[in-house]
Amino acid sequence: MNIEQKHIAQHNDSLISAHNRKLAYLKEDFPQHDLERAIQKLVDFQIAIPSWALGTGGTRFGRFSIIGGEPRNIEEKIEDVGLLHQLNASSGAISLHIPWDIPQDVAKIKEVAGRFGLAFDAVNSNTFQDQRDAAHSYKFGSLQHVDKAVRQQAIAHNIEVIKQGDKLGSKALTVWLADGSCFPGQLNFRRAFENTLQSLEEIYVQLPPDWKMFVEYKAFEPNFYSTTIGDWGQSLLLASKLGNQAYTLVDLGHHLPNANIEQIVSLLLMEGKLGGFHFNDSKYGDDDLTTGSIKPYQLFLIFNELVEGMDAREMNHAKDLGWMIDASHNVKDPLEDLLQSVEAIMLAYAQALMVDRPALNSAQQRNDVVRAQEILQHTFRTDFRPLVAEARLRANAALSPLALYRDLDYRNQLIRKRGKNTTSTGL
């Protein structure tokens, strides 16, 4: 299914005068050059959508399949991302999770993705669930396991995922392990870490030369006493030992409460070891809520460090890191939720681009704490949504993607096509 360009044009016509008025306010207050630079960076910026977030999610207490019209296979998942990309021109990639996704007909999958101008971002392996007919169980871990045969099975799976991703044009493997322990004494920490490193080394040597490995960390869950890659220190240690194709991946929901994520981001970037993100938001743990829905200021502060650090290293904002969402939806239409997440990320990026950086640097040099805070909060509290909308307009997308999605009654169109009782992931 496709959105006709005439619908986008009609929608934009109906909003254009209000949009121009809001943009004009910004033009009065900020230099034209800074605004133009930000708009171009926003046009270029793309965020990958996780294939597993396109259907209704669930918790361990249940799953309510209330939406309907969810994608039934990988091609329909790609079509859904294509729809988002048509609406916002900022969702130009999909991240697959194997074996929740089984890319069987590679030519067809590439054809569907090509139709919507989508790329394949990092492929994710899964050794946190036992697969049907598998010889060994991951109950006591995968790459860390005390039994070499179990480790070997998990290594072979990761290598298979690289092969599948390579056929599609992916350029990165994300490894997230549930490995750890639930009780003191269950695990020899050192041996678990060494086994994990050795296993990752066997996977690492199979990476094509232009690939990256993202080592994702998470403080707890499903193990509740120790997690073998539990924080950025452990991930960075592994990535450093593995080599220059290995990086740390920051999932915003994977920290202990009150962690200073923006500081972690800035140091990883400084060390050249920041691989990318799983964006989401949380109040308590790995809540996987809509990005920017709980802590938008934190999201802005993270982007503030990114813009500062990437400019200092002369990195390409759009291409040099993996920008991905990792979310789950229990009460919202997943597509609406993803539109909100992308919007929040773009806005945080726009705000960060508009920070008066020379003034901030100077305030920091003078230890002018009050001025530094004023600079950041002034930018955060200025309404830069028109910049994000303008970027969409220039990329032939919708001024208000969510409004157009609702106006077109798109969910009901999907339900009519795919049916009411659909499920999409292996969750």
Among the listed ranges 3-11, 245-253, 258-266, 380-388, the one in contact with Mn ion (CB under 5 A) is 245-253
Tell me the closest approach of the beta carbon of residue 194 to ligand PSV, in angstroms.
23
Tell me the closest approach of the beta carbon of residue 167 to Mn ion, in angstroms.
24
Q: Is 326 in the site for ligand PSV (CB under 6 A)?
A: yes
**Phi, psi (degrees; rounded to nearest 5) at 273:** -120, 10
Q: Is 278 in the site for ligand PSV (CB under 6 A)?
A: yes
Residues in CB range of 119: below 8 A, 6 or more apart: 46, 48, 92, 93, 94, 113, 169
Residues in CB range of 164: below 8 A, 6 or more apart: 98, 103, 123
Q: Are 201 and 162 in contact (CB under 8 A)?
A: no
Tell me the closest approach of the beta carbon of residue 322 to ligand PSV, in angstroms.
12
Q: Is 336 in the site for ligand PSV (CB under 6 A)?
A: no
Tell me the closest approach of the beta carbon of residue 401 to ligand PSV, in angstroms.
24
Q: Is 101 in the site for ligand PSV (CB under 6 A)?
A: no
CB closer to ligand PSV out of 35 and 325: 325
Q: Using alpha carbons only, what angle is made at residue 92 by residues 87 and 93, rounded to the nearest 5 degrees?
A: 130
Residues in CB range of 35: below 8 A, 6 or more apart: 26, 27, 354, 387
CA-to-CA distance for 207 and 388, rounded, in angstroms? Answer: 36
CB atoms within 10 A of CB 81: 27
343 binds, among ligand PSV, Mn ion, none (CB under 5 to 8 A by kind): none
- Judged by CB under 6 A, which of 12, 38, 52, 375 binds ligand PSV? 52
Q: Is 286 in the site for Mn ion (CB under 5 A)?
A: yes
Mode of pairing for the β-strands spanning 274-279 and 180-181: unpaired
Q: Is 251 in the site for Mn ion (CB under 5 A)?
A: yes
Residues 114-133 that bind ligand PSV (CB under 6 A): 124
3-class DSSP assignment, residue 223:
coil
Tell me the closest approach of the beta carbon of residue 280 to ligand PSV, in angstroms.
8
Q: Are 11 and 398 in contact (CB under 8 A)?
A: yes
* Omega of the bond leading into 99 within 30 degrees of 0 (cis): yes
CA-to-CA distance for 396 and 308, rounded, in angstroms? Answer: 29
Q: Is 392 in the site for ligand PSV (CB under 6 A)?
A: no
Tell me the closest approach of the beta carbon of residue 136 to ligand PSV, in angstroms.
20
CA-to-CA distance for 10 and 281, rounded, in angstroms? Answer: 34
Q: Is 214 in the site for ligand PSV (CB under 6 A)?
A: no
- Judged by CB under 6 A, which of 80, 251, 281, 333 binds ligand PSV? 251
Among the listed ranges 8-16, 86-94, 281-289, 310-318, the one in contact with Mn ion (CB under 5 A) is 281-289
Strand partners, 62: 59
CB closer to ligand PSV out of 31 and 62: 62
Tell me the closest approach of the beta carbon of residue 172 to ligand PSV, in angstroms.
13
Residues 313-352 that bind Mn ion (CB under 5 A): 326
Among the listed ranges 33-41, 223-231, 270-278, 341-349, the one in contact with Mn ion (CB under 5 A) is 270-278
Name the CA radius of gyration of the chain, rounded. 22
Site string for ligand PSV, 347-386 (x = CB under 6 A): ----------------------------------------
Tell me the closest approach of the beta carbon of residue 328 to ligand PSV, in angstroms.
7
Q: Is 278 in the site for Mn ion (CB under 5 A)?
A: yes
Q: Are 174 and 125 in contact (CB under 8 A)?
A: yes
124 binds, among ligand PSV, Mn ion, none (CB under 5 to 8 A by kind): ligand PSV
- Judged by CB under 6 A, which of 120, 138, 176, 380 binds ligand PSV? 176
Q: Is 216 in the site for ligand PSV (CB under 6 A)?
A: yes
CA-to-CA distance for 342 and 344, rounded, in angstroms? Answer: 5
3-class DSSP assignment, residue 73:
coil
CA-to-CA distance for 390 and 347, rounded, in angstroms? Answer: 12
Q: Is 286 in the site for ligand PSV (CB under 6 A)?
A: yes
Q: Which two tokens stand for residue 28?
A: 């009065």
CA-to-CA distance for 236 and 215, rounded, in angstroms? Answer: 8
Q: Is 41 in the site for ligand PSV (CB under 6 A)?
A: no
Strand partners, 215: 175, 248
3-class DSSP assignment, residue 232:
helix
Q: Which residue has the tokens 């965020």?
A: 47
Q: Indicate the DSSP class of residue 392.
A: H
Tell me the closest approach of the beta carbon of residue 204 to Mn ion, in angstroms.
20
- Which residues contact Mn ion by CB under 5 A? 251, 278, 286, 326
- Which residues contact ligand PSV by CB under 6 A? 52, 124, 176, 216, 218, 251, 278, 286, 326
